[in-house]
Amino acid sequence: MAIFVHNSPMTISDALKQRDLAVNWHPCTQMKDHEWLDMIPIKRGEGIYIEDFDGNRYIDAISSWWVNLFGHANPRINQAIKNQLDELEHVIFAGFTHQPIIELSEQLTAITPASLQHVFYADNGSSAVEVALKMSFHYWRNKGQPQKKRFVNLANSYHGETLGALSLGDVELYKDIYQPLLLDVLTAPSPDAYLAEEGESARDFALRQFAAMDTLLQQHADEVCAVIVEPLIQCAGNMRMYHPVYLQKLRQACDKYQIHLIADEIAVGFGRTGKMFACEHADISPDFICLSKGLTGGYLPLSAVLTTENIYQAFYDSYDSLNGFLHSHSYTGNALGCSAALATLDIFKTDNVLENNQHLIRYMQSATEHFKDHPHIADVRQTGMVLAIEMVQDKTSKTPYPWQQRRGLKVYQHGLKHGVLLRPLGNVVYFMPPYVINTDELQKVIDVAWQGVQLATQN
Ligand code: PMP
């Protein structure tokens, strides 16, 4: 359809692009790129597809930044939100409560590791990380240990963009510029299996890397509040993966040195690793778990931090002790978000999701075997529903392509031309699809990625 803008015919899509770029500043984007890189106005979404104004459909193979679990416009989640909308959209969550949030907290405490008994809400992943950091520091202060005020992270980790969360990350691209503003953290080397020696197993490498973490914790135990990790997959850090034994060792060490363990399951929670929560692979219970993204099925911004009875009790005191956690966000516990989350958890229960995903997990694994032989692919790795392909300049030495060449962007552009939304992280192409994808659709994603990799690695 054509409309007239400044007396010349323009498609709706072109007009929207123009209006968008005049006023919007997009996340994680060098806006100048859009002088040559297309901006795509989306009209509607359905299932695994998003559709633009020209009728092109794209498979959302990255679940719209890892949030979507059961497809766009999922009828059950839609209905739950509509029902909630007629009752209560939002109410202040201090002094007041509502049914959806009570049910949600009951369910979250039931499905997360057993010692997590109390839920504090925020409205995005970074804010959840801030809550966990502040709670951990405040816990030690309430316990008479105010000198515990530092945090430990892993090399190549990512925990969000607000200043506290950014401090705990270690991805140069996002962090370096802001370094003068950030907390001084202690960083242990990553257990990332990609860095293992030739012939060394992921488990052995994780154990070897753990030695440095152990030393760090031992040396700094008196000043460290908590260690924060992304269990099993460092998602924004190029989908690097590690063996669960590292989490077991870390749990033991945190107990030994009296340091909290914060599990940031914002990206890996809700089935991404094949189990409901990544911590289950190691059979450990953290002191804090941060959840967001898939929590609402990808519908609404909501996040939660779950913690233990012991930590909760350290704040439970008379008002004038100032031991209370006086932290709030205006939209804490939004009722619409909670209703979307309840519908999401209901789908997990009634549709046997984790069990059915096993089929997709196996399919992804076998259908990507041939990538391993590609001369410019150094690694094909998978944890559950996340599969990543690392393109390199030299396969033997694993020499990366210089980031300035933006090879991943070529895969992105190829994907869009062929109806698949892939959004590589640097030189790493990955799939993190909604769970409602079928094997034919997965095959299409894999085929398009294969062609994209061929193109991107030419000369
Ligand atoms: N932690 C992890 C592990 C993440 O992957 C992300 C987002 N990609 C965040 C925290 C931050 O979440 P948000 O973008 O909602 O602030």
Does position 1 have pLDDT exceeding 80, yes or no?
Answer: no
* Residue nearest (by alpha carbon) to ligand 1 atom 14: 125
Distance 160 CA to ligand 1 centre (A): 5
Residue position matching structure tokens 């089935």: 271
Measured at the CA of 109, the angle between CA 72 and CA 67, to 5 degrees, comes to 20
Which pTM was predicted? 0.97
Distance 293 CA to ligand 1 centre (A): 8
Q: How confident is the model at residue 8 (pLDDT cuts 50, 70, 90)?
A: low
Average pLDDT, the chain: 97
User: Looking at the structure, do residues 132 and 244 belong to the same domain, yes or no?
Assistant: yes
* Residue nearest (by alpha carbon) to ligand 1 atom 7: 160
Q: How confident is the model at residue 4 (pLDDT cuts 50, 70, 90)?
A: low
- Looking from the CA of residue 293, the nearest atom of ligand 1 is 15
> Which of 156, 292, 302, 430 for mutating ligand 1's site (highest number of atoms within 8 Å of CB)?
292
CA separation for the pair 38, 121 (Å, rounded): 37
Alpha helices in 368-457 (DSSP H): 407-417, 439-456
Distance 291 CA to ligand 1 centre (A): 9
CB burial of residue 315 (10 Å; 0-12, 13-18, 19+): middle
Does position 166 have pLDDT exceeding 70, yes or no?
Answer: yes
Does position 226 have pLDDT exceeding 80, yes or no?
Answer: yes
Domain boundary among 293, 316, 350: 350
Does position 371 have pLDDT exceeding 90, yes or no?
Answer: yes
Does position 86 have pLDDT exceeding 60, yes or no?
Answer: yes
280 phi-psi bin (left φ>0, alpha ψ -120 to 50, beta other): alpha
Residues 6+ apart with CB under 8 A from 354: 271, 274, 275, 276, 348
Residue position matching structure tokens 């060449």: 405
Ordered DSSP codes for 147-189: T--EEEEETT----SSHHHHHT---HHHHGGGGGGS---EEEP
Q: Which two tokens stand for residue 310?
A: 């012991």
Does position 5 have pLDDT exceeding 80, yes or no?
Answer: no
CA separation for the pair 247, 263 (Å, rounded): 10
Q: Quick one: pLDDT at residue 6?
A: 58
- Sheet containing 49-52, strands listed edge to edge, beginning at the edge strand earlier in sequence: 42-46, 49-52, 57-60, 420-421
* Residue nearest (by alpha carbon) to ligand 1 atom 1: 159
Beta strands 57-60 and 49-52 are antiparallel
- Looking from the CA of residue 124, the nearest atom of ligand 1 is 15
Question: Residue 142 in contact with residue 132, Cβ under 8 Å?
Answer: no
Distance 361 CA to ligand 1 centre (A): 23
DSSP state at residue 296: G
Ligand 1 lining (C-beta closer than 6 Å): 124-126, 129, 158-160, 230, 235-236, 264, 266-267, 292
Is residue 377 in a domain?
yes
User: Looking at the structure, do residues 302 and 320 belong to the same domain, yes or no?
Assistant: yes
Domain boundary among 350, 372, 397: 350
Does position 97 have pLDDT exceeding 60, yes or no?
Answer: yes
pLDDT by residue (tens digit) across 403-413? 999 999 999 99
Closest CA to 388 of 430, 331, 346, 338: 430
User: Looking at the structure, do residues 281 and 326 belong to the same domain, yes or no?
Assistant: yes
Distance 317 CA to ligand 1 centre (A): 32
Print the domain residue range for 58.
41-73+353-456
Question: Residue 212 in contact with residue 189, Cβ under 8 Å?
Answer: yes
> Which of 68, 293, 303, 425 for mutating ligand 1's site (highest number of atoms within 8 Å of CB)?
293
Q: Quick one: pLDDT at residue 9?
A: 78
User: Looking at the structure, do residues 322 and 183 belong to the same domain, yes or no?
Assistant: yes
CA separation for the pair 204, 207 (Å, rounded): 5
Distance 266 CA to ligand 1 centre (A): 6
Question: Residue 210 in contact with residue 139, Cβ under 8 Å?
Answer: no
Domain boundary among 350, 379, 412: 350
* Residue nearest (by alpha carbon) to ligand 1 atom 5: 267
Is residue 27 in a domain?
no
Does position 68 have pLDDT exceeding 80, yes or no?
Answer: yes
User: Looking at the structure, do residues 87 and 126 belong to the same domain, yes or no?
Assistant: yes
Is residue 125 in a domain?
yes
Q: How confident is the model at residue 282 (pLDDT cuts 50, 70, 90)?
A: very high
Average pLDDT value for residue range 132-159? 98
The 3-state DSSP composition of the chain as helix, strand, coil percent (nearest 5) reads 45, 20, 40
User: Looking at the structure, do residues 88 and 212 belong to the same domain, yes or no?
Assistant: yes
Number of domains in the chain: 2
Average pLDDT value for residue range 292-305? 98
pLDDT by residue (tens digit) across 243-265? 999 999 999 999 999 999 999 99
CB burial of residue 177 (10 Å; 0-12, 13-18, 19+): exposed
Local structure of 403: helix, strand or coil:
helix
CB burial of residue 7 (10 Å; 0-12, 13-18, 19+): exposed
Q: pLDDT over 70 for what percent of the chain? A: 98
Is residue 30 in a domain?
no
Q: Quick one: pLDDT at residue 12?
A: 97
User: Looking at the structure, do residues 342 and 286 belong to the same domain, yes or no?
Assistant: yes
Q: Which two tokens stand for residue 69?
A: 């679990």
